[in-house]
Structure 1
Amino acid sequence: MQAPQEQWPDAVPVVRPYAMTSGRTTPARGAFDLISIVLATRPPERDDGLHPESAQIIRHSQEPVSVAELAAELDLPAGTVMVLLGDLLAQRLIVTRSPTPARGVASRPVLEAVIHGLRTL
């Protein structure tokens, strides 16, 4: 009988996203959006006993990067990445910047004028 890796050479161990976050669905610290910007506060060479996914986040965020880009790079659901980012934020291994909310909501006449203008294009 062949070992599983010999039978399926492309197979990789699969860890469910909820196992990576210990079943948590919301970050312990911070509020993240898909367009929140993440930046590591230390170089990736240091080993602080991080989980592999957290270490990957540190490596990929040496330059400012969005949560959506991190999720795509790690091939993980954005919610899972946000929980991991919350842990890294609590450890002060990353800093984040979230988008600022729009100041005030456009009035109905302004929105109607925009729609009318788009229709005339």
Structure 2
Amino acid sequence: MTGRRGGRPLVPAYLSTGGVARPSRPHLERLSVLSAHGRPAPDGLPAAQLALLDLLDGGALTVTEAAALLKLPVSAVRVLAAGLLDLDLVLARAPIPPAERFAPDLLKRVADGLRALKHN
């Protein structure tokens, strides 16, 4: 979590998750948006989960953004976030899907309509 010179964390990522390798919620993606519920953290919450809650206080971040700020692998943050979801301390929203492609003829129809307006 706290970095050394050279960027290597002092605590290995697997220790920050308590040795848990897989999140309890497999649907949690790299671009899932996390936000804190605003509930007080229970006593005994691991330091890494407290750090994640602090990051989310008053805002929202994707799993990837949180990983970058915590200087942890995304896989570790997915485990931490899943644990907080299980405790109902965090909300997670699926990533916003990319916009659907428009119909190929739509642009042509719009251009034709604009030309027709211009000539009137």
Report if TM-score (shorter chain) is over 0.5.
Answer: yes
1:54 matched residue in structure 2: 49
Q: Supply the AA of the counterpart residue of 2:76.
A: T
Equivalence for 1:117: none
In the alignment, what sits opposite 2:15? 19
Q: Can you list the C-alpha shifts for 1:21-78, whole angstroms capped at 9, x where unaligned? A: 233221013522121100011267x553211110111111120111111001100000
Alignment partners' CA distance in 1, 2:93 and 2:79? 16
Comparing 68-77 and 13-22, the one that deviates more: 13-22
The reply to whether residue 83 of structure 1 matches residue 79 of structure 2 is: yes
Q: Tell me the matched-pair count.
A: 96
Q: Runs of 5+ in structure 1 lacking a partner?
A: 1-8, 111-121
1:1-121 to structure 2, matched below 5 A, reads 14-42=10-38, 46=41, 48-62=43-57, 63-99=59-95
CA contact (8 A) 2:9 2:71 kept: no
Displaced runs of 4+ in structure 1, greater than 6 A?
none
- Larger radius of gyration, structure 1 or 2? 2
Segments of structure 2 that go 5 or more residues without pairing to the other structure are: 105-120
TM-score after normalising by structure 2: 0.65
**SS at structure 1 position matched to 2:82:** helix
Calculate the TM-score normalised by the size of structure 1: 0.65
Indicate the RMSD between aligned Cα atoms, in angstroms: 2.9
Distance 1:30 1:40 in 2: 19
